[in-house]
């Protein structure tokens, strides 16, 4: 026993754990907020980084264009040889350096300084390999000039030919471009601040949007909880929050109405069923007491009283039977067991069962049944359908006490209908009569005891068979209930 209890407890705990795992503890507000701010952050980052690269490229291009124009001009001014106004090449170089805001150096083929506007001789020797590589010397891409960056300097190099000796020489022009780093740094800070500002703005907007989205959902959730606890006065509002929310609110209001209707009908059914149980039980008790106290010795009276007891017991049995049938049908326990049978003969049998009412209550059954309608269906359940529909017609027909039953054969189907001449069914009630708990409020003297479950059994059985069925009613004139049975082709 103890072990079983322990096992049960373990299973319960497992189930609880599984359920709690499935429910996310993060509020929808934070999901939406996180998602929107995340996307904004990503966009701001992408934008910032791409802007930074564009800026860097532009500044570099600018520098390289500017330096190549200056280098080219200096080269053109150097090539014709030393102008007479300068004492030597070095003075000429210094003049060019001052004019174009650059350092001008000319190197021989080995990288030694021939003359320079700067003063550090020999310092370029080691650079000659780099210069040659930049110009692509000895390779297929032999360039006239090249511009590149080295440390804080932008460098322009090109080949010069010594006019007298024909030997190789290089023009080496440099310009301080450390301003580029400063500009880029400055711009990076600006981009970073703008990104931060945009992100904060996006976060605030995201918080407002998330609030806007989750507020009606929160409200609906709270109201749905109330509804689940049985408060049918709740009203779902959603029309101020867009079409989807309006539709959701509408559906929830519809569900509330349906639930409240079902709840009301359920209560009514319990009241009805209790009443229906109570009446025969009271009768049984009363007649049993009468047998004990009065009619015990009198055989005739005793039999009469015992018959009442038997009839009341039958009523109870049929009530319990209906309840059981419906719950089986609705829970899906009752499966169909189809067979081929003659519906014409079966309908006649069903009508005959009501034959006693002709003599006891003066009912007339006007029957028009075509022969040979063979169908494939669950015979027992179809019998129940015929019984309930004919029984209702008997209960609700008019004072003429006429009930019309017909089965008409078409080419492929047989059309069953049962018509009464009663008060008919109002348009509003037409849909509800098929519901499990619906029962007319009218206290109506019926020869056959009803439970309010008959038509829901009919509906469930016919739906299981996929049959077309329905009701047409004319207020004051009566109703026709019909079912269309597909026939099995003979031969």
452 touches ligand ADP (CB under 6 A):
yes
Q: Nearer Cβ to ligand ADP, position 237 or 459?
A: 459
Binding mask 460-479 for ligand ADP (x = CB under 6 A): -------------------x
- The CA-based angle 176-179-180, given to 5 degrees, is 100
Residue nearer to ligand ADP on the CB measure, 249 or 385: 385
- Choice between 169 and 433, CB closer to ligand ADP: 433
Partners of residue 170 on adjacent β-strands: 107, 159
Q: Are 74 and 104 in contact (CB under 8 A)?
A: yes
Distance CA 401, CA 363 (A): 5
| Cβ contact 326:340 at 8 Å | no
**Sole window of 196-204, 220-228, 232-240, 392-400 interacting with ligand ADP (rule: CB under 6 A):** 392-400
- Interaction of residue 421 with ligand ADP, rule CB under 6 A: no
The distance of closest approach from Cβ of residue 491 to ligand ADP in the complex, given in angstroms and rounded to an integer, is 38
The pair of three-digit structure tokens given for residue 379, joined into one six-digit string: 């015979």
Q: Which of residues 423-442 bind ligand ADP (CB under 6 A)?
A: 425, 433, 438-440
Residues 372-391 that bind ligand ADP (CB under 6 A): 388
Give 463's contacts (C-beta < 8 A, 6+ positions apart): none
Any idea what the Cα angle at residue 160 is, between residues 156 and 162, rounded to 5°? 150
For residues 97 and 388, which CB has a smaller minimum distance to ligand ADP in the complex? 388
Strands 413-420 and 468-474: unpaired
CB 10 within 8 A of CB 16: no
Residue 146 interacts with ligand ADP (CB under 6 A)?
A: no
Cβ proximity to ligand ADP, 93 vs 425, nearer residue: 425
Q: Footprint of ligand ADP on residues 345-374 (CB under 6 A)?
A: none
CA distance linking residue 403 with residue 224, whole number of Å: 48
Q: What are the b/e assignments for 10-19, b being 16+ CB within 10 Å?
A: eeeeeeeeee
* By the rule CB under 6 A, 455 interacts with ligand ADP: yes
Residue nearest to ligand ADP (CB): 450
Locate 301 and state its tokens. Answer: 């009276």
Among 156, 341, 365, 396, binds ligand ADP (CB under 6 A): 396
In this complex, which beta carbon is closest to ligand ADP, that of residue 71 or of residue 450? 450
Angstrom distance (rounded) from CA 257 to CA 1: 47
Q: Which of 172, 166, 195, 186 is nearest to 47 (CA)?
A: 195
CB of 295 to ligand ADP, least distance (A): 33
Task: Give the nearer residue to ligand ADP in terms of CB position, either 392 or 417.
Answer: 392
According to the binding rule CB under 6 A, does residue 392 interact with ligand ADP?
Answer: yes
Q: Which residues contact ligand ADP by CB under 6 A?
A: 388, 392-393, 395-396, 420, 422, 425, 433, 438-440, 450-456, 479
């Amino acid at each position: 026993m103890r072990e079983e209890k322990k096992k049960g407890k373990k299973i319960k705990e497992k189930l609880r754990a599984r359920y709690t795992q499935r429910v996310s503890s993060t509020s929808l507000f934070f999901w939406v907020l996180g998602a929107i701010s995340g996307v904004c952050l990503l966009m701001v980052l992408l934008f910032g980084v791409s802007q930074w690269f564009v800026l860097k490229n532009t500044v570099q291009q600018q520098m390289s264009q500017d330096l190549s124009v200056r280098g080219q001009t200096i080269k053109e001014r150097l090539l014709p040889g030393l102008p007479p106004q300068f004492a030597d090449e070095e003075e000429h170089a210094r003049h060019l350096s001052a004019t174009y805001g650059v350092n001008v150096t000319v190197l021989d083929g080995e990288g030694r300084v021939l003359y320079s506007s700067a003063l550090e001789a020999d310092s370029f020797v080691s650079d000659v390999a780099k210069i040659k590589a930049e110009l692509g010397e000895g390779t297929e891409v032999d360039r006239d000039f090249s511009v590149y960056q080295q440390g804080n300097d932008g460098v322009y190099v090109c080949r010069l030919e010594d006019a007298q000796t024909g030997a190789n020489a290089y023009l080496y022009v440099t310009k301080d471009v450390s301003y580029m780093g400063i500009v880029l740094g400055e711009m990076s800070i600006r981009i970073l601040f703008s990104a931060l500002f945009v992100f904060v703005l996006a976060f605030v907007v995201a918080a407002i949007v998330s609030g806007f989205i989750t507020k009606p959902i929160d409200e609906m959730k709270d109201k749905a909880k109330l509804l689940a606890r049985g408060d049918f006065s709740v009203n779902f509002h959603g029309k101020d929050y867009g079409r989807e929310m309006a539709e959701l609110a509408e559906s929830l209001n519809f569900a509330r109405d349906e639930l409240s209707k079902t709840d009301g009908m359920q209560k009514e059914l319990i009241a009805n069923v209790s009443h229906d149980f109570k009446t025969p039980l009271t009768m049984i008790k009363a007649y049993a007491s009468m047998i004990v106290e009065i009619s015990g010795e009198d055989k005739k009276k005793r039999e009469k009283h015992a018959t009442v007891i038997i009839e009341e017991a039958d009523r109870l049995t049929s009530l319990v039977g209906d309840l059981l049938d419906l719950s089986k049908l609705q829970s899906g326990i009752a499966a169909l067991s189809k067979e081929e049978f003659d519906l014409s003969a079966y309908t006649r049998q069903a009508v005959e069962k009501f034959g006693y009412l002709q003599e006891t209550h003066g009912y007339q059954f006007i029957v028009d049944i075509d022969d040979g309608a063979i169908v494939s269906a669950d015979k027992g359940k179809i019998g129940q359908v015929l019984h309930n529909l004919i029984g209702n017609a008997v209960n609700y027909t008019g004072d003429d006490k006429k009930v019309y039953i017909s089965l008409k054969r078409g080419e492929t189907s047989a059309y069953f209908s049962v018509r009464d001449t009663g008060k008919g069914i109002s348009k509003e009630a037409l849909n509800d009569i098929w519901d499990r708990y619906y029962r007319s409020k009218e206290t109506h003297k019926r020869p056959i005891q009803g439970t309010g479950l008959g038509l829901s059994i009919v509906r469930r059985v016919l739906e299981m068979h996929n049959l077309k069925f329905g009701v047409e009613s004319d207020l004051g004139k009566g109703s026709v209930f019909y079912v269309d049975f597909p026939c099995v082709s003979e031969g």
